[in-house]
Amino acid sequence: MRLFLWSVLALTSLAVAAPGSPSDCAHKVKESVAPPRGWTKTKAAPADHLIELRIGLPQPNFAVLEQHLYEISDPFHERYGVHLSKEEVEALVAPHPESIQLVDEWLASHGIPSDALSRSPAQDWVTIRIPVSMAEEMMKTEYHVWVHDASGAALVRTTSYSLPEHLHAHVDVVQPTTSFARFRRDAATYHFAGDAPAAIKTDAPYISIPSAYNGQVNASCNASITPTCLKELYNAVGYVPAAAGENKLAVTGYLGQNANLEDFHLFNEAFVPEAADSTFDVVYINNGTNDQSPDAAGIEANLDTQYAFGLTYPTPRTFYTTGGSPPFIPDDLTPTDSNEPYANWLEYILSDPSPPQTISTSYGDDEQTVPESYAKRVCASFAQLGARGVSLSFSSGDNGVGDGDSDPATQQCYTNNGLNEHKFIPAFPAACPYVTSVGATWYIPEEVYYISGGGFSNYFSRPAYQELAVDTYLSKLVPGTYAGLYNPSGRAYPDVAAQGQFFNLFVGGVEGQIGGTSAASPTFAGLVSLLNDARLARGLAPLGFLNPLLYAIGAVFPDGFNDIVGGSNPGCGTEGFNATVGWDPVTGFGTPNFGNLKDLVLGDVSAILEL
């Protein structure tokens, strides 16, 4: 097919579309964005630079899928836990046949026949691999190489593209075009063991924590987190997975992050001795790699695998390694765009007939760097997974209410829409309403970890499941607090939290420590996987999309979480939001009490919550 496309490239410079063909129709701008703040346009993109162009067709029945999702995720609904099959979900997101036909005709008019396309199982995405020169002709646009001033990352993007006017109702989005997301990992500073920031010291061997296992946590956990510490703190000591033949857990890896097996063995020998000889499956997506040389060991990949899998042994576990990472190097002889790794993972996991019941991701970006049309399509993919019974957790970000890129002089954060307005900067995918967003705590007793990302989406409206919790929080704010800096009617996040600092891990054969919400997400996902294990062992369905259940528990069953009160998540020249009793946009409802949650999800959830 590649040879075919290069032939097409040669011919398009000579050929003229036949009068009246789809390619000859009048074009109209489909999407346009302001030149992104913090990026510099350097030069025209090479004509032979290859991009994987993804065309999203409308999903006319998505509202029906969403209704199914909320009903089967609502503990008070009679359909709770009755998840949809892969085929049922695909039928609900399938585009109209007319949309498929018209898009196919448009592509064929540019010399790209139907059999040269790659389609998602539901046919709602069409992917073509073409040179920039052809994309520019098809969408009447110009691509350039843009360089991110702070990081040096480079992308081949445009700020506007057009489609034939008759296609506008049949195409939701085309990317990569106007998306300037860098998709970075969420992680605070890594340091060698012994060089950690000072923790609160105590002379007692144990710290009294009433909600913990046996009401106490080893004092060493205050400066050195291990799986045992987390099990003690979150009341999970003694639980042994019983559905290892059915329950599955996964973490995702991007940007060349390698999960080192020797480090995994060292970690288990030190902290999970019963799992010393265990391993995990590796799934390679889009030419993903997992280099096992010690100097290639990835801090993020090791953190995710060591903790998510260390908490859940012997549950079957998978590390997804997805290829593609910025920066693009514009001087390559045969340049290939590889800046959209997340789309490749979504394509793979949606095609999997039996995905893991729990998946953790510790990567994301600022919501404003992702065009709203694309963010909503990606978010809709998470809804598909939730409807099939998959629980998705995402780290909430490590920059409080900001983006880590505030103005050095004023410390203020600015919008990326050309207006340069002073605003808080929400995170994505953490602010998608169909995922569970995990903030961070530190120290024992637990406190707010000030980096914990949280706030309110500018793209997604507040879902019904969190109306009560968020209204209650907002009613406590002094009138006018941060007026104009955030969207009070937007989807609020995070939903929950977990420990996020002083995590002991092995990297390249050396023990070190790390923190961040990237530690909190695999921790929370590990405990969710254990809850799924308990349900599956009883013949019950997995939990699937968690948020309606979490907010129901938070409203009437406070013992399900350890509420974190006091502290805030500063950013953008402000103190950020404060952590209060109940839900807040810093730590959500707080950290999990596994023992109490297990008893709840193994019983009649709706009956217990109604007591």
Residue 274, helix vs strand vs coil: helix
Residues 390 and 359: beta-carbon distance below 8 Å? yes
List CB contacts of 408: < 8 A, sequence separation 6 or more.
Answer: none
Is 512 annotated to bind a ligand? Reply is: no
Return the closest-CA partner of residue 48 out of 134, 142, 131.
Answer: 131
Is 584 annotated to bind a ligand? Reply is: yes
* Residue whose structure tokens are 């939290």: 497
d(CA 130, CA 53) in angstroms, rounded, equals 7
If you count them, how many residues does the chain have? 611
d(CA 376, CA 364) in angstroms, rounded, equals 15
Helix axes 517-537, 594-602, angle to 10 degrees: 40
Residues 154 and 331: beta-carbon distance below 8 Å? no
Q: What is the DSSP letter of 18?
A: P
Among the options 391, 395, 518, 568, which is catalytic? 518
b/e code 520-532 from CB counts within 10 Å (16+ = b)? bbbbbbbbbbbbb
Residue 516, helix vs strand vs coil: coil
Q: Is 518 among the residues known to form the active site?
A: yes
Is 563 annotated to bind a ligand? Reply is: yes
Secondary structure element (H or E) that encloses residue 386, with its range: helix 372-387
Q: Is 263 among the residues known to form the active site?
A: no
Is 582 annotated to bind a ligand? Reply is: yes
Among the options 172, 232, 263, 300, which is catalytic? 300
Residue 433, helix vs strand vs coil: coil
Q: Is 304 among the residues known to form the active site?
A: yes
Sheet arrangement for strand 154-157:
39-44, 144-148, 154-157
d(CA 446, CA 428) in angstroms, rounded, equals 26
* Residue whose structure tokens are 């808080």: 424
Rounded to 5 degrees, what are φ and ψ at 107? -65, -40
Task: For residue 113, give Cα distances in angstroms to 103, 105, 107, 335.
Answer: 11, 8, 7, 24
Among the options 66, 74, 90, 304, which is catalytic? 304
* Residues marked as catalytic: 300, 304, 518
Binding residues for Ca(2+): 563-564, 582, 584
